[in-house]
Amino acid sequence: MAEKTKRILVTGALGQIGSELVHRLREMYGGDGVVASDMRDRAPAAMTDSGPFEHLDVLDAEGLAALCRQYEIGQVYHLAAILSGVGELKPDLAYNVNMTGLKNVLDVAKEMKMSRVMVPSSIAVFGPSTPRDNTPQETLLRPISMYGVTKVGGELLCDYYWQKYGLDVRGVRYPGLISHTTLPGGGTTDYAVAIYYDAILKGSFECFVSEDTVLPMMYMPDALRALIELAQAPSQNLRYRNAYNLTALSFSAGELASCIQERIPDFKIIYKPDYHQEIADSWPRSIDDSAAAADWNWAPEYDLGKMTDDMLAELRKRLKDEVVSG
């Protein structure tokens, strides 16, 4: 086990990934060993009761450095970011948080000689000129969204800090993530989470991408395991420091709806594509993640049916008081 004495800092810990990753890391390293942080203050009791939670805006470089010194941070999982949908509405904010926030984290990690920084990238690094099927690890990165631009810039920055300063930075290009604990923060793949909530709560769903839109996706248990397995992989095995292609499954919005209809026969869906459609159409339909499989034995566990069974079961438990009967 790495880092017995120094603590792990998680930025953006109240988001879709962080709200689950913090608990997984605390199971592994102890509650005190993992400092959760976010610029939002309202952390759930489960997070504040199980270990430290601190207010932190990653744009505040001095506050970030002070927090890292106070807690003797040795590793960072840097999750604070603005995602693709919100990023198109607020491009300046996306640029600042995703680029300057990342640079602040890399700088403090370099200065404190931290042992590792984990930085998720995204399939948003790809664009219309990238092959959309079985998208290779090394290919054209010409995104059309501000989010994608910052993710490409972020990958290059991570590469630079590894090559120039030897900082052990590692990353994955996550596909769309599906989970039932915390709603996603404003991305293009969010429809694939919202559809499960509405199927249970309303029996119907209005989808912001078209029926035939195919995107790569992953269930959260696979996503958490991927990041932790990559963090634990021997450094010398890793050929890529910007980020590894990663995927679990690819489906269209229509195929996801059919899978839910097999389990909730009355479920209805209508398609009303909006500004998210252009982003979705510029992203891959499927991903070649053979480099991750070769370098750190990546393999997903959840397919569409298994994920849907689990999502519906977990959400029914959580939302049981809100479900309209009849």
| Residues near ligand NAD (CB under 6 A) | 11-12, 14-18, 38-40, 56-59, 79-81, 83, 97, 101, 120, 122, 174, 176-177, 184-185, 187, 189
Burial class (CB in 10 A: 0-12, 13-18, 19+), 10: buried
Q: CB–CB of 262/150 below 8 Å?
A: no
Minimum CB separation of residue 95 from ligand NAD in Å reads 12
Which C-beta is closer to ligand NAD: that of 50 or that of 179?
A: 179
Phi first, then psi, for residue 138 (nearest 5°) are -110, 115
Structure-block tokens of residue 7: 């603590």
Minimum CB separation of residue 203 from ligand NAD in Å reads 25
Q: CB–CB of 57/81 below 8 Å?
A: no
Nearest to 283, CA basis, from 142, 178, 150, 184: 142
Which C-beta is closer to ligand NAD: that of 221 or that of 264?
A: 221
- Residue 204 pairs in a beta bridge with 268
Q: Which residues in this chain contact ligand SER in the complex, by CB under 6 A? A: 83-84, 122, 124, 147, 176, 187-189
Output the residue with the shortest Cβ distance to ligand SER. 187
Interaction partner, residue 17 (ligand SER, ligand NAD, none; CB < 5-8 Å by kind): ligand NAD
Strands (E), 89-198: 116-118, 121-122, 169-170, 172-174, 176-178
Q: Which secondary structure element, helix H or strand E, spans residue 292, and what is its range?
A: helix 290-296
197 catalytically annotated? no
Per-residue burial over 28-42, b if 16 or more Cβ lie within 10 Å, else e, is: ebeeebbbbbbbeee
Which C-beta is closer to ligand SER: that of 64 or that of 124?
A: 124
How many helices (H) and strands (E) the chain has is answered by 13, 14
Interaction partner, residue 51 (ligand NAD, ligand SER, none; CB < 5-8 Å by kind): none
Minimum CB separation of residue 4 from ligand NAD in Å reads 26
Which C-beta is closer to ligand NAD: that of 7 or that of 151?
A: 151
Interaction partner, residue 18 (ligand NAD, ligand SER, none; CB < 5-8 Å by kind): ligand NAD
Interaction partner, residue 84 (ligand NAD, ligand SER, none; CB < 5-8 Å by kind): ligand SER
Minimum CB separation of residue 132 from ligand SER in Å reads 15
Which C-beta is closer to ligand SER: that of 73 or that of 177?
A: 177
d(CA 217, CA 233): 23
Which listed residue (77, 147, 196, 240) is catalytic?
147
Interaction partner, residue 188 (ligand NAD, ligand SER, none; CB < 5-8 Å by kind): ligand SER
Measured over the CA atoms of residue 5, residue 120, residue 255 and residue 248, the dihedral's sign is negative
Minimum CB separation of residue 186 from ligand SER in Å reads 7
Active site residues: 147
